[in-house]
């Protein structure tokens, strides 16, 4: 979450006039994340999240995200529910940018997850996959394998070398290795694709829900788990936390056991997931976030994870 586009009192009043939510009592920007402008909105009818969509989010993709959240919520998965306006639309505009109001999800994200939190998160991810089964929408993963090599264009390779001598060569070799070894024919479906600890809420250390579905897409279910392994199971120096990784897998498999090919593919999927976040962070690091109330995330966190994957850091655990 972040704030790139502010909203005036008059703009907020005009927006809420389209809804049956009553008058605004407060509207406070949330300065976290890097993708959209988000506000905690209190009205006479309760608390909501107002999101103004920016940057990478394409307007054509928004119906997929909105419909997926509706589908999941209707099947009992705890996630924000889009609020329709009086015309039944879940999407409208502020300052010419698409926006939506969704229900507020109670709970707290955990900055330093324990192995127990990882087990809960793994189970929650599996429940998300089960609830999403049968969703009729389709959206390709535009930040998947085919996007990685084109993303590492010469100026970004130079930026990698500036961050650490030789990093550009290691990334180029990783890209070749991923292309050669990437698995196919794994079970697929809608995935979250960004289930970091700040996108998971807990209540009394139990999984309470997931937010921020704006990278959701159709891809291998095991790739979604690999994203989580990178996000939840490494220390700040890039070392694998074995207890966390085993707990995450245990929680997931308690709800949805992995197939043999999924388990075999997990090390390369995790290496690829680390590459995805290294590259998008590198691009953001280059571009900066001018005018926003956030700082781009350090790509070197994921460069260290790639070091661990090259050394086979997950293979002994999996």
**3 state DSSP class of 273:** helix
Which structure tokens are listed for 122?
């793994």
Could you tell me which of 7, 5, 38 has the C-alpha nearest to residue 198?
A: 38
Question: Tens digits of per-residue pLDDT, 25-37?
Answer: 999 988 665 578 8
**3 state DSSP class of 274:** helix
Q: Whole-angstrom Cα distance, residue 28 to residue 128?
A: 29
Which ranges of the chain does DSSP label H, i.e. alpha helix? 9-16, 62-74, 115-132, 145-151, 154-163, 167-181, 221-232, 242-255, 260-287, 300-310
Q: Which string of DSSP letters, residue by residue, matches 214-257?
A: TT-EEEEHHHHHHHHHHHHSB-TTS-B-HHHHHHHHHHHHHHSP
* pLDDT at res. 315: 86
Question: Tens digits of per-residue pLDDT, 129-140?
Answer: 999 999 999 999
**3 state DSSP class of 74:** helix
Domains and CATH numbers, the chain: 9-103 (3.30.200.20), 115-310 (3.90.1200.10)
* pLDDT at res. 27: 95
* pLDDT at res. 4: 65
Q: Whole-angstrom Cα distance, residue 265 to residue 74?
A: 32
In b/e form, how buried is each residue of 76-107, taking b as 16+ CB within 10 angstroms?
Answer: ebbbbbbbbbeeeebbeebeeebbbbbbebeb
* pLDDT at res. 288: 63
- In this structure, the strands spanning 97-103 and 92-94 are antiparallel
* pLDDT at res. 2: 52
| Residue 44 burial class via C-beta count within 10 angstroms: exposed 0-12, middle 13-18, buried 19 and up | exposed
DSSP 8-state assignment for residue 318: -
Which segments of the chain have a pLDDT < 50? 1, 289-293
Write down the pTM of the prediction: 0.94
Q: Which string of DSSP letters, residue by residue, matches 291-305?
A: TSSS-PPPTHHHHHH
């Amino acid at each position: 979450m972040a704030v790139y586009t502010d909203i005036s009192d008059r703009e907020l009043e005009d927006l809420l006039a389209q809804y049956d939510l009553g008058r605004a009592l407060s509207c406070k920007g949330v300065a976290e994340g890097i993708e959209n402008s988000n506000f905690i909105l209190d009205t006479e009818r309760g608390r909501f999240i107002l999101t103004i969509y920016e940057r990478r989010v394409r307007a054509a993709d928004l119906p997929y995200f909105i419909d997926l959240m509706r589908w999941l919520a209707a099947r009992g998965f705890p996630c924000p529910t889009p609020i329709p306006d009086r015309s039944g639309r879940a999407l409208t505009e502020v300052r010419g940018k698409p926006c939506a109001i969704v229900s507020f999800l109670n709970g707290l994200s955990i900055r330093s997850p324990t192995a127990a939190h990882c087990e809960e998160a793994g189970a929650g991810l599996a429940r998300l996959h089960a609830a999403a089964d049968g969703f009729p929408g389709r959206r390709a993963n535009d930040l998947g394998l085919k996007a990685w090599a084109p993303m590492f264009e010469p100026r970004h390779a130079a930026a990698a070398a500036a961050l650490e001598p030789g990093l550009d060569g290691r990334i180029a070799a990783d890209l070749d290795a991923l292309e050669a070894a990437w698995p196919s024919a794994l079970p697929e479906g809608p995935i979250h694709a960004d289930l970091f600890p700040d996108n998971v809420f807990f209540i009394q250390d139990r999984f309470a829900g997931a937010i921020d579905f704006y990278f959701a897409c159709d891809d291998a279910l095991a790739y979604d788990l690999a994203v989580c392994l990178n996000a939840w199971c490494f220390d700040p120096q890039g070392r694998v936390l074995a207890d966390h990784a085993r707990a995450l897998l245990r929680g997931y498999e308690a709800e949805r056991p992995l197939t043999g090919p999924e388990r075999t593919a997990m090390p390369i999927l995790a290496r690829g997931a680390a590459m995805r976040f290294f590259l998008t962070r590198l691009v953001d690091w280059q571009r900066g976030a001018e005018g926003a109330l956030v700082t781009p995330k350090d790509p070197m966190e994921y460069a260290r994870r790639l070091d661990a994957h090259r050394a086979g850091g997950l293979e002994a655990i999996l």
